[in-house]
Amino acid sequence: MDKTELKNLLEQVKTGKITTDQAVDNLTHMPFEDIGFANIDHHRSLRRGFPEVIYCPGKTTEQIIEIFSRLAEKGNNVLATRADESVFTALAESDRFPEARYDKLARAIILEQKKIKPSKSVLPIITAGTADLAVACEAKVTAEIMGQKTELICDVGVAGLHRLLAHTRKLSKANVLIVVAGMEGALASVVGGLVSCPVIAVPTSVGYGSGFGGFAALLTMLNSCADGISVVNIDNGFGAAVNAVLINRKIDKC
């Protein structure tokens, strides 16, 4: 339930279309629903502006499907991240959510049941290389299910900076940018030195052995000499997207 739905519910009580008992029944599972192995936060849309998201690793297929179902039953858009395709196959075979789709590159299951007004702003998501695309796509599907328009700018890393410079006019119009890079992670510093908006840097685990699974890129981004760069955890496209959308929402309201 979001703020609009709550206002509609209260208006129905006020006008006598439903009884107070019926309203209470609709609110039974707020703020959370205990299903034994999980406490599902149905109140999150009211607090944060978007529903709870399912992080799939460590959960069984049955647990994921049950949580997915409980969220979907409330009419929410549902996002499950880091989901194996086998989980989506099991969900599809249940025939409960025919509109659910699987983004193979992002490893995400997406169910859009509620139309969200598109953002005024566009969020550019930039990758250093094609190998960083999976993390960038996780950011993209996360932002889009929150109503954020996005644009993916791929393979413009420091090995050929002329590829990035072709997009500088477009980048200068953004409120916030996401930069996704592995190897040494230098692209975030380069972009940070070119634009006047905040840059959210995402180090990826792409690279050879001395990259230590993204740790080298993480340290580079944390030690950037360019100002205005914030860094999320390794491969955390989801976290970068949420931060960027929250920034854009505040600006779009002005």
In a domain, 150, yes or no: yes
- pLDDT computed for residue 75 by the predictor: 81
Same domain, 234 and 192: yes
Nearest alpha carbon to residue 216 among 185, 180, 179: 185
Q: How would you classify residue 36: left for phi > 0, otherwise alpha for psi between -120 and 50, otherwise beta?
A: left
Report the CATH number at residue 213. 3.40.50.1970
Indicate whether this model's pTM tops 0.75.
yes
Q: Give the C-alpha separation, 205 to 99, whole Å.
A: 32
- Structural domain contains residue 103: yes
Residues 132 and 248 in one domain: yes
20 falls within a domain: no
For 150, the enclosing helix (H) or strand (E) is strand 149-153
Instruction: Give the closest residue to 126 by CA, choosing from 199, 210, 46, 59.
Output: 199
Instruction: Give the separation between CA 227 and CA 6, rounded to whole angstroms.
Output: 41
Structural domain for 91, as ranges: 31-111
The reported pLDDT for the residue numbered 197 is 94
Q: What is the pLDDT of residue 204?
A: 96
Look at residue 209 and tell me if it is in a domain. yes
Q: Is residue 18 part of a domain?
A: no
- The closest alpha carbon to 23, from 8, 9, 44, 35, belongs to 9
- From first to last of its 254 residues, the chain has per-residue pLDDT tens of 556 767 777 888 888 888 887 776 666 556 767 678 887 877 777 777 777 889 999 999 999 999 998 888 888 889 999 999 999 999 998 888 889 999 999 999 999 988 888 888 999 999 999 999 999 999 999 999 999 999 999 999 888 888 998 898 889 899 999 999 999 889 999 999 999 999 999 999 998 988 899 999 999 999 998 999 999 999 999 999 999 999 998 888 77
Q: How far apart are CA 194 and CA 210, in angstroms?
A: 29
Which residue type, as a one-letter code, is found at position 14? Answer: K
The reply to whether 163 and 220 lie within a common domain is: yes
Q: What pLDDT score was predicted for residue 116?
A: 82
For residues 152 and 78, state if they share a domain.
no
For the chain, what is the domain count?
2
β pairing state of 108-111 and 78-81: antiparallel
Q: Assign residue 212 a region: left if phi > 0, alpha if psi is -120 to 50, beta otherwise? A: left
Q: Which of 89, 111, 133 is the last residue of a domain?
A: 111
pLDDT of the residue at 7:
76
Same domain, 152 and 207: yes
